[in-house]
Amino acid sequence: MVDQNIDQQSTDAVHSVENALSSLWDKAREASLLISTLREEKKHLIKKIEELEEEVNQVKSLTTHQQTQIEQLRQDLESDTFQKNGSIALEQDEKRILQQKIRNSISKLDQYLTPEK
């Protein structure tokens, strides 16, 4: 009877150890799957971050380009306003042509204003 108790206790201990090892093995497998899944998610998130950073850089570049265009348009507008309000920047040929037209107009006005004799 003592032998049976020892055999029973040893069998129970073996089963207990086997159950504990089986449980540990299952938990290790689950942990391994979870780690693998998390690594894949990490790769995906890193790729998404890189894509978003590239998009941010493109938007920054576009914004800088648009700001440059806005500044150029603002300068052009200020230049046009200055030309309307003050002196007009003309090339030499344009100045000569304009002076000749003004002289011709003055001559025609003089002809109309001069009393006939």
pLDDT value, residue 11? 80
Amino acid at 27: K
pLDDT value, residue 93? 87
Q: Taking the model in full, what pTM does it have?
A: 0.49
d(CA 82, CA 110): 32
Of 39-43, 57-61, 85-89, give the lowest mean pLDDT range. 85-89
Position 60 pLDDT exceeds 90: yes
pLDDT digits (tens, 9 = 90+) for 32-45: 999 999 999 999 99
